[in-house]
Structure 1
Amino acid sequence: MKVSIRGIYSTALIGLLQEKGFTIVNPTKSQVERFGITMKNEPDVMIVDSPSDRNCIEIRGSAEVVQELVKTLQSFFEDLVVLHLSVCEPLGRAKVGFPNQAKLKLDELRSRVSYTVPYHHYCRAGGEGLSSMVSFAEDLVERGLVPAEEMSRMFREQVEGITPRLGTMIKIIHIKPNGKRLSLGLGKVIWRGDGKARIQRRIMGFGVYDGLGVEKSPGDYAITEVTRFQPWMKTSYYSISGELKGRYYNISTPISLYPDHVHYFDLEIDVVVKPNSEAEIVDIELLEKALEEGRIREEVKIKALKIAEEIASKQP
């Protein structure tokens, strides 16, 4: 099974795929230097970064090998999300997402062959600015200008302190298990702490708040509380006069909090709290569907259910 691979996850994935019996072909210069790969051949599949989301890769080629590759990745990365998998013999295509637990495992894989800063793949996925910061830091270590241990300590502190600036307008990017990408609209950062932010969004239209069943009106506003790497976020909805209309807890993979956006893979299940009512867990059937369709593993479903139950009990 011959694989050609490009992109920000390539170094980490090459070592893993070689261990699992795949042959890497058509290497880049850095892949030759790091792995000694020299074979030039027609690949059975190609792996590239998804052009629409740097948290994902796309796999294209032989249907049989695409399926085997997805199976291999999903067995290794517990939290992997299979956003798309289509087979039309003899070709196949897949798109998979790497949540933050997977990114940490990717960091560990990459560190076996080259110095790797903490949160390497988290930063690579976060945009060009953070990606350049990674390249600069790792280059300093590789050139012997900064000791690896010192750089790792400084870089970890730097990343863990990254929070959007007060007053910044940022996006909340919400990826459904079926690959649908939703942007919850621009919101303004009204408070920030270490790895935390509160984001206010103005409601412009009429309708009903999903899950809450409460009327939506122009002038309402929503305040979303986000904590980096927390597997849920809370949104409180208020009327124009400041009256609480309800709270909505979105259960997801651990959240990425970047300077200009929030990113996570949604796990469908949510907790809603209406005024003067008890908390209610909703959309369990959609979580079950994601498991049945092979988009997530059983362990992810169990964790999501446990988180929802804890939130319903404590309403943090």
Structure 2
Amino acid sequence: MSVRVRGIYTTALTRLLSDAGIDVVQASGPIEARFDADFAVERAGAAVETTGDRQGVGVSGDRETVERVVDELRELGRDTLAWADPLPVRAVYAGEVTETLSSGAVVDCGDGEGFLPYSNSDERVETGDRVRVQVVEGTAPWTDGRAVLDTDIAVRGDLLTLVRGGSTSTTAAGPAMLDVIAADPREGWGVSWEAASDDAGFDAIADALAAANERAAAIDDALAGAGDPESVAPHAYYDGGATTWVWFGRESRFALDEQRRAVTTTMAGHHRVKAGSNSASAAVDYVEALCEDPGSDDETDFPFAVTAQQFGPQSGDTLTLGHGKPDGRLITLGRADVQSVEDGGTVTVERTMSAGGEYDGLGVPKEAGDVAETKLKEGRWWYPTVYRDSEGRSKGTYVNICTPVEIFPDTARYVDLHVDVLKHADGRVERVDDDELDAAVDAGHVPEDLADRARSVAAAVASALGD
């Protein structure tokens, strides 16, 4: 069982997974130097890659390996959440084009929608066309993107790629490599070599080709007699393995710090800061390169004030609320004006409300001139929003119970845990949506220990508001 790891969590995850008995392969030069070890260059059973927004990782590959890796990641903290992708990377579908856009087409694959760039199809596609496609790139559920599709059916690997109906590479290395390893690609498939194969041993390449041929055979078997896209779309021909998206919360990031600190110099809040922005990530690298001891390993010593001063938010900025849902979706609650930023990690934001409808749970109308004031505190499991009318009179308070708040330069992130506490204008305190939390637990979206924490926090908040 082996994995390839890339991105800002690589050092921590290399140690975590290695200690769990999972082989890390194809490690970069800096990782080999950091661990003072040689890592095999061979086929990986799964790839673990940081998401584009740095909030978590995608784990994709052989189903057994993906499940084992995700099990290990879930143990990092209560606020590590994971969601299986309905369109796993490598899966093959018969899909129907439902919409054409400027750069590609939206394809209904039955299990979900994918995006087929025009450059990934040899023929022009139009709405209503039915095509055979393969998922080549997934997208995390908390983003607005769609999985990327390709009409080439292939077994794409780190060392080599087999293409159904393709031709074998005619470069000097192509036929020569096959002669050396005394093996051939499956009939009807062409092979090309990836850059990592330059550093791989012949046995590793032979093993990779054998594994690729097995997957190619499985695809051929799945397509044989299954019907062409015109007759069966939307339809799943081949599941390809598994892809799971893992979102790291604040507690999880500090647990990753501990893993990394056992290997190399790591400042307090290393992953928390790196997740904020590219510039913040570069600054962390600079600090750790200069200082052998850049700060305490105590989570409470996370330098929020300095981080906010350097990268934001600051008074006068705007901040969005990244309202994650336990099923993996992300709802952006609009931009709010930052009123103040306190050294202790409290950021106060305000939104001017538009007339129309009622405030959720409070049952009072939204009126022009109303103001919503939200106080967000880094690391706290809840945050209150007070609604006031144009005269400054309270219309009620809504307290959201969530995973520990992380305040990044332009977004405050958390996952909503359903249960909430309300304080009405008349002083009455009400706890709501426990049933939605129970349903999320039953659906497997919220682990029981996380749900217990949410209920405990809700009880404490309700008690405090009632005093």
Q: TM-score, normalised by structure 1?
A: 0.90
Distance 1:97 1:205, change over 3 A: farther
1:3, 1:47 within 8 Å by CA — same for their partners in 2?
A: yes
- Residues of 1 paired with 2:251 and 2:303: CA distance? 19
- Residues of 2 paired with 1:157 and 1:91: CA distance? 39
Measured after TM superposition, the shift of residue 283 of structure 1 is 1.4
One-letter amino acid matched to 2:46: V
Task: Give 1:152's aligned residue.
Answer: 295
Q: Does 1:30 align with 2:175?
A: no
2:269, 2:303 within 8 Å by CA — same for their partners in 1?
A: no
Distance 1:221 1:24, change over 3 A: same
One-letter amino acid matched to 1:81: L
One-letter amino acid matched to 2:378: R
Q: Secondary structure at the match of 1:240?
A: coil
1:24, 1:37 within 8 Å by CA — same for their partners in 2?
A: no
2:76, 2:255 within 8 Å by CA — same for their partners in 1?
A: no
Measured after TM superposition, the shift of residue 282 of structure 1 is 1.3
- Give the fraction of aligned pairs with identical amino acids, expressed as a percent: 30
5+ residue gaps in structure 2? 92-238
Distance 1:82 1:165, change over 3 A: same
- Residues of 1 paired with 2:347 and 2:443: CA distance? 34
2:323, 2:415 within 8 Å by CA — same for their partners in 1?
A: yes
One-letter amino acid matched to 1:59: V
Task: Give 2:268's aligned residue.
Answer: 118
Measured after TM superposition, the shift of residue 258 of structure 1 is 2.9
- Residues of 2 paired with 1:37 and 1:239: CA distance? 65
Distance 1:205 1:125, change over 3 A: farther
Measured after TM superposition, the shift of residue 254 of structure 1 is 1.1
Q: Does 1:302 align with 2:452?
A: yes
Q: Does 1:62 align with 2:212?
A: no
Task: Give 1:44's aligned residue.
Answer: 45
2:273, 2:307 within 8 Å by CA — same for their partners in 1?
A: no
Segment of structure 1 superposing worse, 184-193 or 160-169: 160-169
2:50, 2:58 within 8 Å by CA — same for their partners in 1?
A: yes
Distance 1:213 1:93, change over 3 A: farther
Q: Secondary structure at the match of 1:214?
A: coil
2:384, 2:398 within 8 Å by CA — same for their partners in 1?
A: yes
2:6, 2:50 within 8 Å by CA — same for their partners in 1?
A: yes
Out of 285, 297, 301, the residue aligned to residue 135 of structure 1 is 285
Task: Give 1:313's aligned residue.
Answer: 463
Q: Does 1:182 align with 2:325?
A: no
Q: Secondary structure at the match of 1:115?
A: coil
Any residues of structure 2 matched to 1:98-117 within 5 Å, and which? 98-117=248-267
Task: Give 1:203's aligned residue.
Answer: 353
* Deviation digits for residues 13-45 of structure 1 (CA, Å, limit 9, x no counterpart): 111111112111111121221232431222121
Task: Give 1:144's aligned residue.
Answer: none
Measured after TM superposition, the shift of residue 297 of structure 1 is 2.3
Flag as ranges the 4+ runs of structure 1 deviating above 3 A: 83-90, 155-163
Q: Secondary structure at the match of 1:152?
A: coil
Measured after TM superposition, the shift of residue 157 of structure 1 is 6.7
1:82, 1:177 within 8 Å by CA — same for their partners in 2?
A: no
Q: Judging by fraction of residues, say which structure has more strand.
A: 1
5+ residue gaps in structure 1? 142-146
Segment of structure 1 superposing worse, 212-221 or 100-109: 212-221
One-letter amino acid matched to 2:330: R
Distance 1:138 1:294, change over 3 A: same
Any residues of structure 2 matched to 1:221-300 within 5 Å, and which? 221-300=371-450
Pick the structure with greater CA Rg: 2
- Residues of 1 paired with 2:248 and 2:302: CA distance? 23
Distance 1:234 1:84, change over 3 A: farther
- Residues of 2 paired with 1:90 and 1:65: CA distance? 13
- Residues of 2 paired with 1:157 and 1:64: CA distance? 37
One-letter amino acid matched to 2:18: Q
Measured after TM superposition, the shift of residue 78 of structure 1 is 2.9
Q: Secondary structure at the match of 2:276?
A: coil
2:254, 2:269 within 8 Å by CA — same for their partners in 1?
A: yes
Q: Does 1:173 align with 2:316?
A: no
Segment of structure 1 superposing worse, 86-95 or 233-242: 86-95
2:76, 2:256 within 8 Å by CA — same for their partners in 1?
A: no
One-letter amino acid matched to 2:48: I
Supply the RMSD in Å over aligned alpha carbons. Answer: 2.2
Task: Give 2:141's aligned residue.
Answer: none
- Residues of 1 paired with 2:404 and 2:41: CA distance? 39
Aligned residues: 308
Distance 1:201 1:83, change over 3 A: farther
Distance 1:314 1:157, change over 3 A: closer
1:31, 1:37 within 8 Å by CA — same for their partners in 2?
A: no
- Residues of 2 paired with 1:2 and 1:204: CA distance? 54
